[in-house]
């Protein structure tokens, strides 16, 4: 996905404002995928904000759609035309034609030979096509070809500049004997899950509440999102040292959720952290701005003060600590801005045992709620901790466990050809692989009935 220039600037400015507000109190970390979304792409890809005209035209015996724009390089004006057939699906088979202004109508790259501007002109065209195809959702496929032998290596180089994570796929092909090559964009028909822009704020425990309220105001002032979710603290039952069927029944949870918790309680291995992970979702307090200003909230028949909700209880519990103070803002239909405000103490996992337990709890929770794409991302994160960071001790995994995890790491979760972009795509893959992880006793299923 390409984030709009203006929105990206706002989010970057928002992050800088949060850093400035915190001063020496804490630090702001940007999730790795967020860095790729927010950075100003240069060299390999750069945003080109050209104004495209759009008109319906005759296209053989059918109707077609024509998109036109122009730009200048070194005082030379170039025209770009993209024209394709209108079908039930949208605009398909659109061809890209460009020329120097004084050579109107002549085919693309032949007019560039000897000008010395080839790469700059063609990269500008490529970047403008990426933007056009990304913004104009009716365009289903676009192709751009060259029959100029001098440009063949350049087209291949251009195809590698297309950033990943867009709403369409880019492919490159060539016919050496004929001296032709082609770059093709095809719309991905499957709906992509929302993109999360993740920002983590780490502060001293005493400053969490005040920092949270400051960031709430900054987000509202600068982004003005459509919807807010202010998550701050939990219902007090989540802090119980022991969970019981009687206590769970009084919470009036969804029947499916309640039955799953009962299964865990009946399992022979203590599942306290698994239940806590589920209750993180069921008992999290979602405040309105007026609730925050008032200082209390009504939840499941109880009045809970903001002071009580923000108390730091059980500081060693990573499951609660990393999800206690969250701000989720739906910026638009495709992007969610996630702020998490965390305690600076014990942020990093201290051992492979604790890391495995944490991931086990989270994956069981996500499986229960059917969030398979999030499961996919968490399974990938777990594998990266093992094979990329090396967060495991010798002989922690047996031979079968180690080699199966490595196979998953190399062939499924870090395969460049991976097309998993949403919940539907991820479902079969994660259910199968997670089932194998449980069979190999890498993780426990805590009484879950498959």
Residue 69 vs residue 315, higher pLDDT = 69
3-class SS at 399? Answer: helix
Whether the CB-CB separation of 187 and 139 falls below 8 Å is answered with yes
pLDDT at 107: 44
Q: What's this model's pTM, rounded to 2 decimal places?
A: 0.71
**pLDDT-derived band at 413, boundaries 50, 70, 90:** confident
* Weakest-pLDDT range from 223-232, 376-385, 439-448: 223-232
Q: Which residue has the tokens 């001063």?
A: 23
Q: At what angle do helices 399-408 and 423-439 cross, to 10 degrees?
A: 170
What is the secondary structure of 201-258 as a DSSP string?
Answer: EEE-GGGHHHHHHHHHHHHHHHT--SEEEEEEEE-GGGG-SS--HHHHHTT---HHHH
pLDDT at 322: 65
Average pLDDT across the chain, whole number: 81
Residue 57 vs residue 102, higher pLDDT = 57
Provide the β-strand partners of residue 175.
180
Q: Which two tokens stand for residue 299?
A: 């939840």
Alpha-helical segments (H) within 65-186: 118-135, 152-159
Residues with Cβ within 8 Å of residue 324, at least 6 apart in sequence: 208, 231, 232, 233, 234, 341, 342
pLDDT at 315: 47
* Weakest-pLDDT range from 85-99, 112-126, 399-413: 112-126
Backbone φ/ψ region at 301: left (φ over 0), alpha (ψ -120 to 50), beta: left
**pLDDT-derived band at 42, boundaries 50, 70, 90:** very low
Q: Which DSSP category does 61 fall into?
A: T
pLDDT at 106: 47
Fold of 1-39+193-235+283-344: Beta Polymerase; domain 2 (3.30.460)
pLDDT tens readout for residues 66-81: 999 998 888 888 888 9
Neighbours of 318 (CB within 10 A): 19
Mean pLDDT over residues 320-338, rounded? 79
Give the residue extent of every domain in the chain.
Answer: 1-39+193-235+283-344, 53-187
Chain length of the chain: 450
Rounded Cα distance between 379 and 435, Å, is: 12
* Weakest-pLDDT range from 56-70, 96-110, 128-142: 96-110
pLDDT tens readout for residues 240-268: 889 999 999 999 999 999 999 999 999 98
Provide the β-strand partners of residue 71.
78
**pLDDT-derived band at 109, boundaries 50, 70, 90:** very low
Q: CA nearest 266: which of 287, 291, 245, 282? A: 245
CA dist list (Å): 15 to 1, 33, 47, 322: 20, 15, 21, 19
DSSP percent split of the chain into helix, strand, coil, nearest 5: 40, 25, 35
Q: Which two tokens stand for residue 54?
A: 């759009």
């Amino acid at each position: 996905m390409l984030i709009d220039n203006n929105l990206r600037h706002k989010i970057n400015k928002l992050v800088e404002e949060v850093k400035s507000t915190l001063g020496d109190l804490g630090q702001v970390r940007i999730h790795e995928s967020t860095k790729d979304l927010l950075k100003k792409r240069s060299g390999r890809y750069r945003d080109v904000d050209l104004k495209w005209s759009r008109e319906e035209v005759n296209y053989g015996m059918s109707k077609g759609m024509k998109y036109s724009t122009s730009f200048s390089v070194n005082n030379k004006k170039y025209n770009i035309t993209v024209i394709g057939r209108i079908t039930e699906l949208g605009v398909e088979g659109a061809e890209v034609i460009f020329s120097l202004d004084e050579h109107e109508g002549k085919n693309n790259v032949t007019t560039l030979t000897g000008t010395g501007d080839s790469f700059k002109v063609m990269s500008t065209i490529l970047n403008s096509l990426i933007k056009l195809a990304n913004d104009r959702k009716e365009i289903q496929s676009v192709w751009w070809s060259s029959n100029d032998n001098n440009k063949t290596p350049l087209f291949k180089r251009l195809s590698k500049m297309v950033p990943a994570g867009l709403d369409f796929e880019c492919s490159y092909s060539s016919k050496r004997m004929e001296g032709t090559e082609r770059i093709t964009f095809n719309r991905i028909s499957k709906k992509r899950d929302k993109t999360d822009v993740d920002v983590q704020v780490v502060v001293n425990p005493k400053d969490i509440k005040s920092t949270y309220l400051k960031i709430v105001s900054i987000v509202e002032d600068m982004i003005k999102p459509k919807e807010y979710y202010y998550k701050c603290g939990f219902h007090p039952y989540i802090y119980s040292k022991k969970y019981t069927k009687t206590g769970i029944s009084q919470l009036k949870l969804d029947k499916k959720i309640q039955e799953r918790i009962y299964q865990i309680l009946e399992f022979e291995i203590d599942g306290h952290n698994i239940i806590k992970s589920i209750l993180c979702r069921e008992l999290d307090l979602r405040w309105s701005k007026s609730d925050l200003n008032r200082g209390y909230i009504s939840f499941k028949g109880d009045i809970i003060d903001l002071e009580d909700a923000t108390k730091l209880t059980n500081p060693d519990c990573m499951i609660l600590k990393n999800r206690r103070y969250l701000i989720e803002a739906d910026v638009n239909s495709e992007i969610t801005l996630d702020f998490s405000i965390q305690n600076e103490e014990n942020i990093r996992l201290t051992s492979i045992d604790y890391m495995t337990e944490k991931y086990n709890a989270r994956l069981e929770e996500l499986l229960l709620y059917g969030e398979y794409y999030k499961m996919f991302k968490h399974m990938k994160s777990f594998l990266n901790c093992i094979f990329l960071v090396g967060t495991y001790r010798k002989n922690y995994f047996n031979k079968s466990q180690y080699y199966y995890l490595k196979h998953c790491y190399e062939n499924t979760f870090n395969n460049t050809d991976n097309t998993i972009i949403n919940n539907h795509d991820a479902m079969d893959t994660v259910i199968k692989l997670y089932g194998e992880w449980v069979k190999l006793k890498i993780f426990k299923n805590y009484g879950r009935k498959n």
